[in-house]
Amino acid sequence: MLIDTYGRVATDLRVSLTDRCNLRCTYCMPEEGLQWLAKPDLLTDDEIVRLIDIAVTSLGIEEVRFTGGEPLLRPGLVGIVERVAALEPRPQMSLTTNGIGLKRTATALKKAGLDRVNVSLDTLRPDVFKTLTRRDRLKDVLAGLEAAHDAGLTPVKINSVLMPGLNADEAPDLLAWAVAHDYELRFIEQMPLDAQHGWTRDGMVTAGDILASLHTRFDLTPERSDERGSAPAERWIVDGGPHRVGVIASVTRPFCGACDRTRLTADGQIRNCLFAREETDLRAALRSDAPDEEIARIWRLAMWGKKAGSGLDDPSFLQPDRPMSAIGG
Ligand code: SAM
Ligand code: SF4
């Protein structure tokens, strides 16, 4: 098991497949992009599958989520999914993506064994989409979403980040649209994980703001607390059901006490928290021919040292060196 000193057990592995992206969301990375990882530093497909194999067979991982950067940019993605689906025990598998390219790949991903997708979409207005992501690709995202739904990668979840002055007024429209299309919408509070360090507490849209805005158009009933488990989203039943809406309030209502996550970066570093400032190098162990037991031991040790919380409320909080796109959100 991957257990820490507070007794939390990690069963959910987030794997970043690349730090590159074809969008430039303002809350994530600058217009010019970032200094991408060099190819030799990236884990190979074989190395990724080996680490996931160790995680599911020796460390109690039950769920694997592929992310990035934009994971659909990884050429070997379908093959990786297929090989992970053949592992024993077979983990649940999902993908967090901006949806560009999903139209082309959804059926192949489903066939390879992917269970679900989370697609990030912050606005339904083409002009706002272009400002927010710095690319004119809304149509591609909508087509990708439809393809994912048709391929059975369900429930299709949507991640939305609201930004003041851009799409902060769009929460009710996004929810009405998501309900009509049978997508499960979750709002994510903007976190201090952007490469430009532009986040400010005063300049973010909070869970309170989002709920107040949704209440103007919908009747929301809180889901029973025992239904939440370790899920980061608090959820509400929309207008009596069956649809639900979630809010991931990492900043104003942190859920660190129930965290069950461990993260692997595209260059083979283990992070025990999104906000951790330390990483543990598994790539060096992999490339020095360490046996599986040794890699599992290093991974366990990395998780043992997980801090109680993100530290966001501490005046001494320091943003991690890597931005969200390089950690794997
Ligand atoms: N490119 C893929 C995507 O956008 O879904 C996967 C990687 S992205 C880093 C994963 C999620 O992190 C997205 O839903 C994105 O909206 C979210 N995200 C990125 N930067 C964020 C920030 N500063 N605060 C909150 N969420 C953020
Ligand atoms: Fe790319 Fe996702 Fe970051 Fe947007 S949030 S720039 S899609 S990695």
| Cα separation, 258 vs 78, whole angstroms | 31
Going by pLDDT thresholds of 50, 70 and 90, the confidence category of residue 326 is: confident
Q: What is the mean pLDDT of residues 304-319?
A: 84
| Cα separation, 57 vs 38, whole angstroms | 30
| Cα separation, 194 vs 326, whole angstroms | 10
- Is the distance from the beta carbon of residue 265 to the nearest atom of ligand 1 less than 6 Å? no
Helix (H, G, I), strand (E, B) or coil at 208: helix
| Cα separation, 307 vs 272, whole angstroms | 8
Mean pLDDT of the chain: 95
Task: Name the residue type at position 280.
Answer: T
Nearest Cα residue to atom 21 of ligand 1: 28
Residue 124, classified by CB atoms within 10 Å of its CB into exposed (0-12), middle (13-18) or buried (19+), is middle
User: Could you say which ligand is closest to the alpha carbon of residue 67?
Assistant: 1
Atom of ligand 2 nearest to the CA of 28: 3
Would the pLDDT of 214 be above 90?
Answer: yes
For residue 201, the model assigns a pLDDT of 87
| Cα separation, 260 vs 230, whole angstroms | 6
* CB-based contacts of 201, cutoff 8 Å, min separation 6: 251
Q: Are strands 220-222 and 234-238 parallel, antiparallel or unpaired?
A: antiparallel
Alpha carbons within 13 A on the beta-carbon side of 263: 24
For residue 99, which of 136, 145, 153, 160 has the smallest C-alpha distance? 145
| Cα separation, 175 vs 95, whole angstroms | 21
CB burial of 148-170 (b: ≥16 within 10 Å; e: otherwise) equals: bbebebbebbbbbbbbeebbeeb
Would the pLDDT of 281 be above 90?
Answer: yes
Would the pLDDT of 228 be above 80?
Answer: no
Tokens representing 61?
Answer: 């991982």
- Is the distance from the beta carbon of residue 260 to the nearest atom of ligand 2 less than 6 Å? no
Domains of the chain, each with CATH number or no CATH? 2-327 (3.20.20.70)
| Cα separation, 205 vs 202, whole angstroms | 8
Q: What is the mean pLDDT of residues 34-39?
A: 94
**64-73, 251-260, 284-293: least confident range:** 251-260
Would the pLDDT of 329 be above 90?
Answer: no
Tokens representing 42?
Answer: 């990236």
Would the pLDDT of 197 be above 80?
Answer: yes
User: Could you say which ligand is closest to the alpha carbon of residue 161?
Assistant: 1
Give the Å distance between the CA of 220 and the centre of ligand 2. 29
Atom of ligand 2 nearest to the CA of 325: 8
**79-93, 104-118, 145-159, 304-318: least confident range:** 304-318
| Cα separation, 186 vs 120, whole angstroms | 10
Give Cα separations from 132 to 109, 156, 157, 185, 218 (angstroms): 28, 22, 20, 18, 26
- Is the distance from the beta carbon of residue 232 to the nearest atom of ligand 1 less than 6 Å? no
Would the pLDDT of 309 be above 90?
Answer: no
For residue 255, the model assigns a pLDDT of 86
Q: What is the mean pLDDT of residues 65-71?
A: 97
Q: What is the mean pLDDT of residues 39-55?
A: 98
- Is the distance from the beta carbon of residue 28 to the nearest atom of ligand 1 less than 6 Å? yes
Q: What is the mean pLDDT of residues 125-135?
A: 98
Would the pLDDT of 323 be above 90?
Answer: no
For residue 293, the model assigns a pLDDT of 97
* CB-based contacts of 109, cutoff 8 Å, min separation 6: 77, 78, 81, 95, 117, 151, 153
Give the Å distance between the CA of 91 and the centre of ligand 2. 25
For residue 22, which of 115, 136, 112, 145 has the smallest C-alpha distance? 136
Q: Helical H runs in the chain?
A: 45-58, 77-85, 102-112, 126-133, 138-151, 171-181, 207-215, 283-287, 292-304, 324-327
Would the pLDDT of 3 be above 80?
Answer: yes
